[in-house]
Structure 1
């Protein structure tokens, strides 16, 4: 028998990610404009790295290549008649195409306006309407989008009277030489829509100066070091993803590994796989629900250390929603044996109207909790009709560099230490205002101070956030925080974070009462009836009040573009009959 020598086929060379460390001296966002920041970052070797759903690198995108592509996009935009100050709406899909177009718009002197991708809630018609409303608000010169969204995006653009073009077609255009405009620090850099802005959208106008001031404060607050590398699945149409994990890494020259948000939703542990593979130190942010999903997914696994190495995760940022200490503890319990250290948690507080960061916990201090007696939250005198109860409030850190925070009464009077009131902030990174909405601007900006709409208090120089003022349920003069009701129901077996929405409604008799919508997975009528009674008893124990309990199908409760539960939208959909509860016999 003759032997046959098999010659292996030549395998394509593995993609190499951009390096974590670089000879280019790091600058902490000390630039006049965002374009100048990319010009500098492009002199080094670092960049953006895009991964598929399994965490495999599919595109390494050095800042130098991003700059080259962005300059070409700028020339295409100028050739299309785009002028400084024009708005260019961009569907914010995580990838090189959006990145080059965003910076192309910056170089062309126009204002990029990132818009959301479709979510699982509401379907095509709901997404088209959301785009239409936001397009009407920002009045863009054109809408650019991924080709796979052409049908919905084109329809929204048609209704809004805006030119729509997929970015493959746009990038195929010629890029003739053109004189690029000179941007100034006080020019608007971009418009950012806050996550809940659907029916009445507010485009937050942020200048280059405000942006770079906040990005510098962010990097100083995290105490950025040479070995740091960012890992992110956060969407680029939300401030924490756009500003914190895209613009910040350019302006502070940090190599970053990305998963698309939808890929994280399908395979959340791929996020931790990326962190495990980082040979440097990791910076990675998530709202509470991201940590919660990962901890739950590990419940069927044996040991986290068999798969993950999280010992080099230096900054595990947490923000964008109320921080749950019980979830953070569950994450530590699930991943402690993989080297995750609780002191890596870095709580923070911010909002789009302040560009992003308002306060950041000093690295290494972890989750710090204060127990606040319920009477301080509800406004009732102590000792009345109920035993003392406490809520754990998470420390959200100290005001970032150049930011001042005050707690005020409703009439604007400053409050002393530990007194709960409205959170106001002032600093160079506060927005100039809402685009073409002076009334809404005047309602929240007073003498340079921003009314955040949140309630909280200060303690020893640290910021503690209690909740959103507009979500508060006020019945018979008592304040009830919806998250207290929601968290109480979550303690019952079979429920989890995101299953419950609490808000106030008016009964047919004209009385205000709490309503609790609960996503229910059982189809058994008797079990549903038992669950409803258990929920009602639980809420009565926490609030001392009867409430309306409605069980609804799974995946019914709406979320904002950043993944947070939207209580306001849930309430509206319930009152208009668009959320249909199960019919349960009394």
Structure 2
């Protein structure tokens, strides 16, 4: 049956008695079969209707990984309201001003788990009685609105249609080979598109779903992984930093116990994106999880953005030779070809298609794109400039970085992310953030615990590798790195701090 809306697609899986959704942490979990969960979604929709929410109303909420948080989101969608997902924090911004901006931009009257600001604060009330049917809607209607993380400025709204979300979910299904009987693990924050679309994909496809609170997963990942040991096939998503983190935890576990080769033997897809994918992270991860039965081809490198609902390209890992390309001091991940139904091109400043290997602006077009920041631009016909720079080699995408991360020093163009990759491999460096500074740039490093970094030697290495010398190399504590709610360094905010002399 062809469905037009997200609420219809999720309600269409309510009959799956053998599938379940599990919420919670390693200490306390709650399991609901799909029929029971669908009944609660309908009851939540009824509860919101009793509180005055009507189809089409926009409701601001901060989505948590709890049963209550997910039910609030799905209950609003079931009712035909439009959830407006905001971040729990914004670098350098006062939350009150941020929420007031969202309220004004989206004409919001109701809020969930957000107090004040002249809004009607909603409660999650499961109305007893027969649950309402999913609200009728149009495929091109808005399913929900996400706000960007604000890494380079104030967050911007991303309205996503049912068409865009369902189209991307279908493309993800095809890439992953996902089908009923499989299982999904989401341990990423749901205010981030990677976590949110991951949950919605699992529910639309009718597979078992474990929604793990991110902090709890990072503290005790083995407990969540053991929940899925006997699954038929497992699908999940981990950014680069989680590959490194899990490698450390799995190595520690292997020192305590003999690795169980069945623990990760059923894992078929681990989407890796959201930040630069580093070859060292992948090597370390695969070495650590191999004894636990992980198949390297389960890794899928991808390029995604909230404006495309989530995924735009994908590349299933085979080996390091095909997964990465080295140019000079920098190694870049192959992000693969475009998702079904999506067009991608790389153009120069005049709008001309770039030649193979030539770096230019990455642009997208297709049915899974959002409707513009104004909510009225049809990117099925109009190209969307992603703000990213990269190149195509044999129709495979390789990213160089954000346009705003390109630095020009005495006529030499370098990317902040490239410098960070080299600096992060320098002895004693735990993390690195490169910021524009004066006529050049600054290299901000967080040293490994108990170590100091030879800043003069690091400056010389960067100058030799890139032909552009940093104006400053400084060491700061880990806490000095301002981050977005998604965990990315807030470059814009940190650059302002650096100029003001308040960084670190």
TM-score, length-normalised on structure 2? 0.90
Match of 1:539 in 2: 462
Residues in 1 aligned to 2:447 and 2:101: alpha-carbon distance in whole angstroms:
32
Quick check: 1:371 aligned with 2:325?
yes
Q: 1:402 aligns with which of 314, 336, 341?
A: 341
- Tell me whether 323-332 or 70-79 shows the greater mean CA deviation: 70-79
Shift in alpha-carbon separation, 1:292–1:141, aligned structure 2, 3 A: same
Aligned-residue offset at 1:233: 0.4
- 2:164 touches 2:368 (CA, 8 Å); kept in 1? yes
Match of 1:332 in 2: 286
- 1:305 touches 1:337 (CA, 8 Å); kept in 2? no
After superposition, residues 167-316 of structure 1 pair within 5 angstroms as 167=123, 170-171=124-125, 181-196=135-150, 199-243=153-197, 245-275=198-228, 277-300=229-252, 302-303=254-255, 306-308=258-260, 309-316=263-270
Q: Specify the SS of the correspondent of 1:209.
A: helix
Q: Specify the SS of the correspondent of 2:275.
A: coil
Shift in alpha-carbon separation, 1:209–1:136, aligned structure 2, 3 A: same
Q: Specify the SS of the correspondent of 1:434.
A: coil
Match of 2:437 in 1: 505
Q: Deviations over 1:365-404 (max 9, x none)?
A: 788334353xxxxxxxxxxxxxxx2422211122111011
Q: Deviations over 1:155-210 (max 9, x none)?
A: xxx2x332334x3xx41778899797421111111001122368522111111111
Q: 2:30 aligns with which of 49, 59, 82?
A: 59
Residues in 2 aligned to 1:280 and 1:91: alpha-carbon distance in whole angstroms:
33
Aligned-residue offset at 1:279: 2.9
Aligned-residue offset at 1:434: 1.5
Instruction: Report how many aligned residue pairs link the two structures.
Output: 500
- 1:108 touches 1:181 (CA, 8 Å); kept in 2? yes
Shift in alpha-carbon separation, 1:559–1:104, aligned structure 2, 3 A: same
Shift in alpha-carbon separation, 1:351–1:522, aligned structure 2, 3 A: closer
Aligned-residue offset at 1:131: 4.1
Match of 1:462 in 2: 396
Residues in 2 aligned to 1:369 and 1:76: alpha-carbon distance in whole angstroms:
49
Aligned-residue offset at 1:490: 1.7
Shift in alpha-carbon separation, 1:35–1:477, aligned structure 2, 3 A: same
- Tell me whether 397-406 or 83-92 shows the greater mean CA deviation: 83-92
Quick check: 1:89 aligned with 2:28?
no
Shift in alpha-carbon separation, 1:307–1:114, aligned structure 2, 3 A: farther
Quick check: 1:139 aligned with 2:71?
no
Residues in 1 aligned to 2:257 and 2:149: alpha-carbon distance in whole angstroms:
36
- Tell me whether 281-290 or 413-422 shows the greater mean CA deviation: 413-422
Residues in 2 aligned to 1:178 and 1:481: alpha-carbon distance in whole angstroms:
53
- 1:227 touches 1:280 (CA, 8 Å); kept in 2? yes
Give RMSD over aligned pairs. Answer: 2.9
Quick check: 1:77 aligned with 2:31?
no
Aligned-residue offset at 1:48: 1.7
Match of 2:367 in 1: 428
Q: Deviations over 1:244-272 (max 9, x none)?
A: x1111111111111211121233344454
Q: Give 5+ residue unaligned stretches, structure 1.
A: 1-26, 146-152, 374-388, 507-511, 581-586
Match of 2:11 in 1: 39
Residues in 2 aligned to 1:36 and 1:180: alpha-carbon distance in whole angstroms:
6
Match of 1:490 in 2: 424
- 1:114 touches 1:236 (CA, 8 Å); kept in 2? no
- 1:367 touches 1:395 (CA, 8 Å); kept in 2? no
- 1:130 touches 1:198 (CA, 8 Å); kept in 2? no
